[in-house]
Structure 1
Amino acid sequence: MTMNSIPINALQERYLQPHQARQRPPTTFEDLLGDSIERGFAAGHWELDALVEHLNKGGPLGPNGQPWTAESFQTLMKTLGE
């Protein structure tokens, strides 16, 4: 059987699971943060300092309601990735 003969739905079910490592649904904060990060990337903010500046301008605020720093962003990303 070749790849061309496998229905796309079967491929999607097996390989296209974007949240396959997720242990729980994201929180509202995580959803908002993800949306803001995506907007930052779309605006060309690929460097950490530029992305942190984008987050501080457009939100959400960092943990505990504080402005983002490079360190707080990296710490949270590490925590969320565990």
Structure 2
Amino acid sequence: MPTDRYLDPHQARTRTPTPYEDLLGDAIERAFAAGIHDLAGLVEHLNRSHTTTPSGVAWTEENYRAEMAVLGA
């Protein structure tokens, strides 16, 4: 079966994700799979699942936005 040479799901990746980034991504994917699509619900899901910020504190909408800006840079 030929591969699609134009499909690269990691085309914007400049490095391998850290274990923290992998865990955070998995938690976000689980939230989306559960039908959570708003920021308040996502933050609540992360806290309920004991997924903390890199510094170990609970998520807020403000620190989530800040962390996504850092990770997206």
1:69 matched to which residue of 2?
60
Which structure has the bigger radius of gyration?
1
Q: 1:21-72 deviations in whole A, cap 9, x for unaligned?
A: 1111000000000000000011111000000000001032112000000011
List aligned pairs for 1:33-72, cutoff 5 A. Answer: 33-72=24-63
1:3 matched to which residue of 2?
none
Runs of 5+ consecutive residues of structure 2 not aligned to the other structure: none
% same residue: 53
Conserved 8 A contact 2:20-2:54: no
Whole-Å separation in 2 of the counterparts to 1:57 and 1:47: 15
Q: How many residues align structurally?
A: 73
Runs of 5+ consecutive residues of structure 1 not aligned to the other structure: 1-6
Whole-Å separation in 2 of the counterparts to 1:8 and 1:48: 39
Instruction: Report the residue type matching 1:76 in the other structure.
Output: E
1:30 aligns with 2:1: no
Q: Greater helix percent: which structure? A: 1
TM-score relative to the length of structure 2: 0.91
Write out the 4+ residue segments of structure 1 that deviate beyond 2 Å after TM superposition: none
RMSD: 1.2
